């Protein structure tokens, strides 16, 4: 498949540019019979919508989703869901000055090299607006997962150097601050840090953490479609993400086997683990513990400081990027990370149903 599709059975295809008439997604393979309304999808889209705080772009977009197919009498029909969000605030004149030169940290140069030219208006296909399609699909996947008791909690673990210690997490705070941090004090410190960044016409990055509970054991397909491998593809396919780790991740590399192994024990009739260094994945399959992943997000490349760069006819130049930009995209990317995780898990849950002949027999007899 060309690169705009993702998933084997629950397949998501996004389309659309920042400054075209609309952005959208087609979801194919969604099971029939899931209650679905535009309002439910809108809840997810509103989490990534610009203009929710002083730290996000002033671009004004209603980002109202329309369901064009795949729902009948309030339920999914099993046929493709086509979801569309019109672009309403397309000030393309803002971008004319970057038409001929390559913004550092952006894909202008690489797109020109690959395609011979590019839609230079607002990043075109590489705009953050492309993630609208992902989030709309993520909403559908999340509703599907919720019917099975699977729940995703996603939040900002750090902004720049301000990191919330895991011991102080309070999930009830996540939606009570515009940075989606699980601790209001650290959220305040992060806001202060961001204000300084903005004063200096600079930008910040951060780390997003996603915890998934209720996963059945055994989800994921060996060898190349391991649960963690597929999540890694999904999460690194998000524009600004530069790294992912599962469970203890990079810290595990400095640990010892004796402390990194999670001991099993029996509780009731359940196999449990005393610790969760594995982050809920063993051998690429879910192990019944909460799945924990972290995504490293780089600082927004669009800054208003003058930057050295080149033009597409090979001249050195200095560029000042104006226009509307987020000093940090981490808070808006929280729901994007959650969406990509939800889509991945929905897909692998479906594939897993055929792992044993007994399952086929029960189904067909």
Residues 225-284 interacting with a second copy (rule: CB under 8 A): 225-226, 228-237, 239, 242-250, 252-258, 260-266, 269, 271, 274, 278-279, 282-284
Please check if 118 is assigned to a binding site: no
Please check if 134 is assigned to a binding site: no
Binding residue count for a second copy, defined by CB under 8 A? 165
| 21-50: contacts with a second copy (CB under 8 A) | 21-24, 26, 28-29, 31-34
3-state secondary structure of 135: helix
Both tokens of 335, joined, read 């729901």
Q: Is 93 in the site for a second copy (CB under 8 A)?
A: no
Q: Is 72 in the site for a second copy (CB under 8 A)?
A: yes
Which span sits near a second copy by CB under 8 A: 43-51, 165-173, 176-184, 301-309? 301-309
Closest CA to 76 of 27, 5, 116, 118: 27
Q: Is 62 in the site for a second copy (CB under 8 A)?
A: no
Of 172 and 280, nearer to a second copy (C-beta) is 280
Residue 318 bridge partners (DSSP): 308
Please check if 298 is assigned to a binding site: yes
337: left (phi over 0), alpha (psi -120 to 50) or beta: alpha
Length reported for the chain? 365
Greatest C-alpha distance within the chain: 71
Closest distance of CB 259 from a second copy, Å: 8
Closest distance of CB 177 from a second copy, Å: 19
Sole binder of a second copy in the list 136, 296, 334, 335 (CB under 8 A): 296
| 320-359: contacts with a second copy (CB under 8 A) | 349-359
Please check if 165 is assigned to a binding site: no
Please, are residues 226 and 287 in contact by the beta-carbon 8 Å criterion? no
Closest distance of CB 17 from a second copy, Å: 6
Burial of 351 (0-12, 13-18, 19+ CB in 10 A): middle
Strands 151-159 and 81-86: unpaired
Closest distance of CB 176 from a second copy, Å: 23
Contact track, a second copy, 127-166, x by CB under 8 A: ---x-------------x--xxx--------x-xx-----
Please, are residues 238 and 131 in contact by the beta-carbon 8 Å criterion? yes
Please check if 327 is assigned to a binding site: no
Both tokens of 102, joined, read 């390559």
Q: Is 316 in the site for a second copy (CB under 8 A)?
A: yes
Please check if 156 is assigned to a binding site: no
| 168-207: contacts with a second copy (CB under 8 A) | 197, 200, 202-207
Sole binder of a second copy in the list 48, 49, 70, 194 (CB under 8 A): 70
Closest distance of CB 35 from a second copy, Å: 9
Q: Is 111 in the site for a second copy (CB under 8 A)?
A: yes
Please, are residues 322 and 94 in contact by the beta-carbon 8 Å criterion? yes
Which span sits near a second copy by CB under 8 A: 46-54, 167-175, 176-184, 297-305? 297-305
Closest CA to 216 of 349, 342, 341, 355: 349
d(CA 323, CA 59): 9
Note the Cα 178 to chain centre separation in Å: 17
d(CA 300, CA 104): 11
Of 46 and 225, nearer to a second copy (C-beta) is 225
d(CA 12, CA 347): 10
Closest distance of CB 256 from a second copy, Å: 5
d(CA 61, CA 3): 26
Closest CA to 338 of 181, 141, 112, 177: 141
- State the binding site for NADP(+): 48, 54
- State the binding site for FMN: 125-127, 283, 298-302, 324
């Amino acid at each position: 498949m060309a690169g705009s599709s993702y998933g084997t059975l629950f397949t998501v295809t996004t389309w659309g540019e920042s400054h075209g008439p609309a952005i959208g997604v087609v979801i194919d393979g969604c099971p029939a019979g899931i209650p679905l309304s535009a309002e439910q999808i809108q809840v997810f889209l509103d989490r990534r919508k610009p203009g929710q705080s002083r730290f996000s772009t002033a671009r004004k977009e209603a980002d109202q989703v329309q369901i064009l197919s795949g729902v009948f009498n309030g339920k999914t029909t099993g046929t493709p869901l086509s979801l569309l969000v019109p672009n309403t605030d397309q000030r393309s004149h803002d971008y004319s000055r970057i038409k001929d030169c390559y913004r550092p940290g952006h894909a202008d140069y690489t797109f020109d090299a690959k395609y011979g030219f590019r839609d230079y208006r607002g990043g075109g296909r590489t705009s953050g607006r492309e993630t609208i399609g992902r989030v709309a699909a993520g909403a559908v996947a999340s509703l599907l997962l919720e019917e099975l008791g699977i729940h995703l909690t996603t939040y900002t673990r750090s902004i720049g150097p301000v990191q919330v210690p895991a011991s102080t997490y309070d999930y009830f705070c996540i939606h009570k601050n515009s940075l989606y941090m699980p601790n209001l004090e650290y959220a305040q410190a992060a806001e202060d840090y961001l204000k300084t960044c903005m004063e200096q016409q600079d930008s910040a990055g951060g780390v997003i953490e996603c915890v998934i509970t209720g996963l059945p054991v055994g989800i994921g397909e060996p060898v190349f479609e391991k649960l963690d491998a597929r999540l890694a593809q999904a999460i690194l396919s998000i524009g600004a993400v530069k790294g992912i780790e599962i469970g203890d991740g990079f810290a595990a590399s400095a640990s010892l086997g004796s402390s990194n192994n999670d001991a099993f024990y029996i509780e009731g009739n359940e196999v449990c683990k005393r610790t969760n260094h594995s982050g809920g994945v063993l051998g690429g399959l879910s192990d019944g513990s909460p799945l924990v992943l972290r995504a490293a997000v780089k600082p927004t490349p669009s800054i208003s400081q003058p930057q050295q760069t080149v033009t597409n006819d090979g001249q050195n130049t200095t560029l000042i990027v104006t226009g509307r930009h987020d000093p940090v995209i981490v808070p808006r990317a929280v729901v994007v990370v959650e969406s990509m995780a939800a889509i991945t898990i929905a897909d692998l849950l479906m594939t897993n149903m055929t792992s044993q002949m007994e399952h086929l027999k029960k189904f067909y007899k």
